[in-house]
Structure 1
Amino acid sequence: MPTVHVVAEAVAFGYPGRPVLDRVTLRAAAGSRVAIVGENGSGKSTLLRLLAGELVPSAGQVRRHGVVDLVGQDMPVVPGRTVGDEVADALAEVTTLAAEIAAATESFDHASGSLAELATLLERSERLAAWDAERRVLEQLDRLGACTDLGRELAHMSVGERHRVRLGCRLASRADVLLLDEPTNHLDDAALEHLTREVLAWQGVVVLVTHDRRLLDDVATGILDLDPSMEGRPVFYGQPGYLSFRFAKNQALHRWRQRHRAEQKKRLELLQRLDTSYEGLSDEWRPPKGSQKHRRGTRARIHVKAADRLVEKLEAEAVEVPVPPVELAFPALPALDPTWHAAAGAELVSLRSPRVAGRLDLPGTRVALPASGRLLVTGANGTGKSTLLRALAGTLPLDRGARDVHEGVRIGVVGQEGLGVQTGVDLDDILDDAAHGATGFDVAGRVALRLLAAGALDPELVVPVAFLGLLSEADLDRPLRELSLGQRRRFDLACALVAAPHVLLLDEPTNHLSIDLVDELTQALRTTPAAVVVATHDRRMREDLADWPTLAL
């Protein structure tokens, strides 16, 4: 039996006033590749931090064996920290091991010394391939398309660039337990294929949180679902593959709902019987003379007590269905403003020969988006996908070329970094408030009011964020900075929809989202009357949108 490297037993954890995890159990041995899924805010990232030892559970326990590495979604920017510092951290264990081997060899007594300690050190060195570690780190960075300039400061890099540096360094360190939080974010096809190969070949344990349905199919040996279940605790699905998981989960949810409906029907029948018994008892206290009122009253009370006991028994055995995961209620976005006197094929926005120095250059290319048009933008990292979307939005000036936009067109943008709403109205101060304690309701309300005051939005078209099914009212009432990355990503999408845009520009829209929402969002984008541009590395989403016109950069 392989050595168990990480175990979580009935773990619970919560933040002040907000429980997150309850009775979570996970066991993973060498060779296991466990995927953790669930709605945004269900505690996936928190569970990884508990497994890594960064957090302490309020109940239950976590046991680890060996070196643990966590690659989180967030990578705080430390002023002055460089790529070289990340590489040095990745090589720290190898560096320490080399020093221990050198010291043990130098002090070894050939006459009386034991070889056991030295053999153990050499075994560790073999496992880590210590002699090849430095080259391995640089190779990992190169395979992921990460920066290999050791002197470059992380603060001067994008979120995606920092993520690839961190991921490459940790893949090279060969930890016993590798914990990955949304590792496919910011990776292009070549990097995704490399990551898949590395995870499949990992000799220790891999536990990963991911929305990438293809990665689940390719690597997961089991899936732990943190969403609510009929039993009230997370469910582990041991059969590999996303489709197997989806089928099993849908079947379980169907049985759950069937049983709940049956219990509710039975409970209603008993309550009706109880009401009838009470009515009979009430009438019996006023019987006509000579009607054996005590005997008949006693019988009525017996019926009432029997009905009471049945109701109590049913309530004790009843299935209380928790509030189901929030479902997406995508709004009916307009294709055209009814006041426009334009044909249905009118172009809403277009670019001609766009060029942004060092980032995008498409001479002789015209990108045009008609009403209800579709465009899928693909390409490796660094080819200019995000730049193209920003140029279409009008938030990035062109060094060459021209942008045309139909008067009155509203454009909603979801970028890779932070809130993105393009309307021709300055929202910088509102976005600053979002980073300093404002709630989702506060920010969304101020965005809508600013648009209305500028005449950029018809009052009848305002989309209430609470009705979208992207976030619960409780989450919208919390400071945005307290939300998880996935929840903030949901809020970015909600704010892009507030103005009922005619055009949606989505840059890596599946990043940080739950797999259930990714499925729902893909279907919504296929059917909305609004024009849509999607730039994505998500392989399954590209397959789902394969019939769209495609621009490969």
Structure 2
Amino acid sequence: MSATRGGSRGQPLGTVGGAGPVPAAAPVPGAVGPVHLVADAVTFGYPGRAVLDRVDVTAPAGTRLGVVGENGAGKSTLLRVLAGELAPQDGAVRRAGTVAVVAQELDVAPAATVGTLVGESLAGVRAASARLEDVVDGFDHETGDLAALTEAIGRVEHLAAWDADRRVDEALSRLGAPRDPDRRLDELSVGERYRVRLGCRLAERADILLLDEPTNHLDVAGIEYLTAQLRAWPGVVVIVTHDRQLLDDVMTAILDLDPSMDGRPVLYGATRYATYRFAKTQALRRWRARYTAERKRAARLAERLDASYEGLSDEWRPPKGSDKHRRGTRARQHVKAADRLVQRLEAEAVEVPVPPLELTFPDLPSVPDGYPGGPLLDVRAPRVAGAGGRDRLDLAGTRVDLPPCGRLLVTGANGAGKSTLLGALAGTLALDRGARTLAAGVRVGVLGQEGLDGVVHGRGTRAARHPGGSARAGAAERESGFDAYARRALELLEAGALDTTRLVPVASLGLLSEEDLDRPLEELSVGQRRRFDLACALLAAPHVLLLDEPTNHLSIGLVDELTEALRATSAAVVVATHDRKMRADLADWPELVLG
């Protein structure tokens, strides 16, 4: 990446930690040798799709680099390349120090437990302690290798090996993760598994820490603990994140993988999100204005060329009996003049790539036809039982009613029942006590926290995501976005949950390009699939939108656009979120705090 300062053409800002050769990184206290992470002109792509193109990163110890960009821009791919999980097709990655990675998705081995992850993370600490014991036991005070002893002691001190078990227990507790070492990972929720792995990696104290969307499954207390840990991290931290507050609180630089007008990613030295966003917005405005001007110029060029060549057939003809070659001579002159015009205008042309997509939120209706008045959606005293005699949700004496254009912000710690409440509002979870009423004709769009929940309709049922079980689910993942969207529309139509005059075309939303919608869903990134889920929630032009952690996996630019759209839409909206910036942006909404 030849990084340029956001919005100022041709002004090099340099790579993270400084431009030019890799600087001599300051040693981490107690570490053996300097710690740094370097990506030199790294290029990587998948079959038929380039992702990273000559990306440069130089990060010495103390760097906390935030990686942002649109979904599908290559953020998670860059993290995997930096970690060594993917080999670059060109360029090189150099790592000095140990590496720990927390990816968005965790493949769970059969019978793996919380203790399995703890053991894997502390393997290096155990090895360092064992190494020190061996060196001490075999050390001869007259002939022993003092350098080896010093190295072994330094490594144990750097890892604080004597404190490792307490650190793991503290991290799991502060992040709200299960602590029982015998708990099977496949019995935990996605969020619980993520928190277990994150806690283990933090306790591991690796020199280079690579995190992919670490705040997705954390509540406010967990985010505060994570923030404190990252701010004190002595080595290198690279974080892919959409969390705008985390960018403000932690990062020393922001790397935006979205291409700029010259096709290159941009490194922003300003660490305040508002500063970065302002610079990027200004650059995008210039880009879109330049693209529009170039399109108009190209259209004028085409018109002039058509007129020039068309004139050849209407050229003045000499009288009979005169010089028969005169008309041919004049014709050749016109051809040469037209060709010179083409050459001059093409030389003046500037190739401007198509600007990135921009969210076009649909005009959602506030009430159905024939609406008699009253709440669109009403849930009273809901209770949903859970396992082990513990209720997932119990709001005795509480009524949640949504009028037309109503707003509600649902907050609370992990496990407080936010997702359960949204499931009760959507009608996808049966109530063990209480009542749910949905006004006739009201359509409800649902964006669940984990995967697509589709759109429910007035009878409280919903079109299943993959009717027919896992085989159908696999087939659906191999569908293109266009095909999957059309299939979902047909399912909703059959269920009586779709007004064909209000259908929202997926390509009109600016969430995914037509090229991405032509690809199988399984080939899309996690963030792109999340965008598709959001599109499906809007498909039937719902009167009520229920959004569970809507910022998860989305790019920060889209989060800004979505927040503005939710504030302005005519539909009623319920948002459950832990995102601190979104909560601040929606602070004037009525709030229901659970737990």
TM range (shorter): over 0.9
Contact 1:271-1:311 at 8 Å conserved across structures: no
* Secondary structure of the corresponding residue to residue 207 of structure 1: strand
Asked whether 1:351 is paired with 2:351, we answer no
* Secondary structure of the corresponding residue to residue 447 of structure 1: helix
TM-score normalised to structure 2 length = 0.86
Indicate the residue corresponding to 1:244 in structure 2.
Answer: 275
Contact 1:434-1:480 at 8 Å conserved across structures: no
Contact 1:434-1:443 at 8 Å conserved across structures: no
Indicate the residue corresponding to 2:29 in structure 1.
Answer: none
Q: Shift in Å at residue 25 of structure 1?
A: 1.5
Asked whether 1:162 is paired with 2:207, we answer no
CA distance in 1, matches of 2:183, 2:79: 29
**AA matched with 2:341:** A
CA distance in 1, matches of 2:560, 2:336: 55
* Secondary structure of the corresponding residue to residue 553 of structure 2: coil
Q: Shift in Å at residue 283 of structure 1?
A: 7.8
Asked whether 1:454 is paired with 2:505, we answer no
CA distance in 2, matches of 1:79, 1:489: 27
Q: 1:427 aligns with which of 454, 464, 471?
A: 464
**AA matched with 1:27:** T
Q: Shift in Å at residue 320 of structure 1?
A: 2.3
Give the 3 Å change call, closer, same or farther, for CA 465–301 of structure 1 in structure 2: closer
CA distance in 2, matches of 1:121, 1:551: 54
Indicate the residue corresponding to 1:464 in structure 2.
Answer: 505
Asked whether 1:369 is paired with 2:431, we answer no
Asked whether 1:40 is paired with 2:71, we answer yes
**AA matched with 2:400:** V
- Aligned length in residues: 547
- Deviation readout 1:330-368 (Å, 9 max, x if unpaired): 22222211123x12xx11222222222321111211111
CA distance in 2, matches of 1:305, 1:495: 50
Q: 1:478 aligns with which of 507, 519, 522?
A: 519
For residues 94-173 of structure 1, the aligned pairs below 5 Å read 94-173=125-204
- Deviation readout 1:444-465 (Å, 9 max, x if unpaired): 2222112212322222122222
**AA matched with 1:486:** G
Contact 2:73-2:258 at 8 Å conserved across structures: yes
* Secondary structure of the corresponding residue to residue 471 of structure 1: coil
- Deviation readout 1:387-423 (Å, 9 max, x if unpaired): 1111111111222222222233222111111110233
Q: Shift in Å at residue 121 of structure 1?
A: 1.1
CA distance in 2, matches of 1:253, 1:285: 50
Percent identity between the two aligned chains: 61
**AA matched with 2:228:** R
Asked whether 1:215 is paired with 2:249, we answer no
Contact 1:23-1:233 at 8 Å conserved across structures: no
Q: Shift in Å at residue 46 of structure 1?
A: 0.5
For residues 377-456 of structure 1, the aligned pairs below 5 Å read 377-421=410-454, 422-423=456-457, 424-430=461-467, 432=470, 433-436=472-475, 437-456=478-497
Q: Shift in Å at residue 274 of structure 1?
A: 6.1
Asked whether 1:518 is paired with 2:559, we answer yes
Indicate the residue corresponding to 1:321 in structure 2.
Answer: 353
Indicate the residue corresponding to 1:68 in structure 2.
Answer: 99
Contact 1:213-1:242 at 8 Å conserved across structures: yes
Indicate the residue corresponding to 2:574 in structure 1.
Answer: 533
Asked whether 1:20 is paired with 2:51, we answer yes
Question: Which consecutive residues of structure 2, in runs of 5 or more, have no partner in the other structure?
Answer: 1-23, 26-33
Q: Shift in Å at residue 469 of structure 1?
A: 1.8
Q: Shift in Å at residue 40 of structure 1?
A: 0.6
Indicate the residue corresponding to 2:10 in structure 1.
Answer: none
Give the 3 Å change call, closer, same or farther, for CA 272–334 of structure 1 in structure 2: closer
* Secondary structure of the corresponding residue to residue 466 of structure 2: helix
Question: Which consecutive residues of structure 1, in runs of 5 or more, have no partner in the other structure?
Answer: none
Contact 2:290-2:352 at 8 Å conserved across structures: no
Q: Shift in Å at residue 518 of structure 1?
A: 0.6
Indicate the residue corresponding to 1:310 in structure 2.
Answer: 344
- Deviation readout 1:133-178 (Å, 9 max, x if unpaired): 1111111111111111111111111111111111111111111111
**AA matched with 1:133:** A
- Deviation readout 1:261-285 (Å, 9 max, x if unpaired): 5555666666677667767888889
CA distance in 2, matches of 1:457, 1:271: 44
**AA matched with 1:195:** L
Contact 2:428-2:462 at 8 Å conserved across structures: no
Q: Shift in Å at residue 371 of structure 1?
A: 1.7
**AA matched with 2:540:** A
CA distance in 1, matches of 2:162, 2:323: 105
* Secondary structure of the corresponding residue to residue 429 of structure 1: coil
For residues 239-278 of structure 1, the aligned pairs below 5 Å read 239-260=270-291
For residues 192-203 of structure 1, the aligned pairs below 5 Å read 192-203=223-234
Give the 3 Å change call, closer, same or farther, for CA 363–68 of structure 1 in structure 2: same
| Alignment RMSD (CA, Å) | 2.4
